[in-house]
Amino acid sequence: MGSLRIRVVEDAHELGRAGADLVAEVIAAAPTAAIVVATGRTPMGLYAELAARRRSGVLETKAISAVQLDEYLGLEPDDRRSLFGWMHRSFLEPLGVRDDRVIRLPLDGDLEGACAAFDRGLEARGALDLAILGLGRNGHLGFNEPPSDAGSSTRRVELSSSTIEANARYYDGGRPPATAVTLGMRQLLSARAIVLVVSGSSKRTIVRRALEGPVGPAVPASFLQQAGGDVTVIVDRAAWADGRAS
Ligand code: GLP
């Protein structure tokens, strides 16, 4: 079993710096690291910090591989509201990750077969080096909506109404699609390292449930308590209300 470390930081700005330190350490040790890249608002400061370090020449990111975490179904490939579009603008482009180093989720055809082949392909590469994850208000990781068990694989999912509502603010005011593809819990939990970034008072209840509550499919992020690799949770004071851990 791996380790779980909770690091409480002052605010979203410090969260970005602390997260970037950790990601930079992984890349320094493994320049060709395969890294799962979450979208969502929380890791944006982290990605901006990585990009700033790259620009100033202290970080080299061009040899890493980026693995897509989740994506809506039914969008045109160039729809800028897609999670890939967001990942491209916030991570791939600023960090100079070329297209041939991006591992994208399957989105059409026989999805069940394509997802199984995708997982076999990932497993053949060896363990993922790092997963950068955010926390859904309902405890999801990626789009592993409750209930999702620890062994769930990459698959098509129906999004809950709470997730659709939460993500509408990132969707140009419209309603995001109700179906998506997500990397499975099994793939995420077997990463060598995981960094979960959590910010803001709206995550207070769920972050405690995930880290201190019972482990089970009702809160998929609770499986981080049993992940095989090293899990670091970076949480700001607004989310970790009484600051018990440090
Ligand atoms: C979305 C994404 C997740 C993300 C989560 C948290 O539903 N599918 O990958 O981590 O929400 O987003 P935010 O960081 O904006 O709170």
In angstroms, the CA 106 to CA 3 distance is 32
Question: Which regions of the chain are under pLDDT 50?
Answer: 243, 245-246
Which pLDDT belongs to residue 241? 86
Among candidate residues 71, 145, 167, 236, the one labeled active-site is 145
For the record, the structure tokens of 106 come out as 């399957």
Strands (E), 124-164: 130-134, 155-158
In angstroms, the CA 135 to CA 84 distance is 18
Of ligand 1's listed atoms, the one at least distance from the Cα of 167 is 7
pTM, whole model, 2 decimals?
Answer: 0.97
For the record, the structure tokens of 195 come out as 């960094």
In angstroms, the CA 204 to CA 225 distance is 17
Sign of torsion over alpha carbons 10, 16, 22, 28: negative
CA 146 to centroid of ligand 1, rounded, Å:
14
Q: In a 3-state reduction of DSSP, which class is residue 205?
A: helix
CA 142 to centroid of ligand 1, rounded, Å:
7
Among candidate residues 49, 71, 129, 140, the one labeled active-site is 140
Residue in this structure with the two tokens 């095989």, named with its chain if needed: 228
In angstroms, the CA 47 to CA 53 distance is 10
Is residue 71 lining ligand 1, measured as CB closer than 6 Å? no
Q: In a 3-state reduction of DSSP, which class is residue 28?
A: helix
Q: What is the DSSP letter of 152?
A: -
Q: Which residue has the least CA distance to atom 9 on ligand 1?
A: 142
CA 100 to centroid of ligand 1, rounded, Å:
25
Which pLDDT belongs to residue 17? 98
Q: Give residue-wise pLDDT tens across range 202-216.
A: 999 999 999 999 999
CA 233 to centroid of ligand 1, rounded, Å:
15
Does residue 70 have an active-site annotation? yes
Is residue 42 lining ligand 1, measured as CB closer than 6 Å? yes
Does residue 140 have an active-site annotation? yes
In angstroms, the CA 141 to CA 204 distance is 16
Q: Give residue-wise pLDDT tens across range 18-31.
A: 999 999 999 999 99
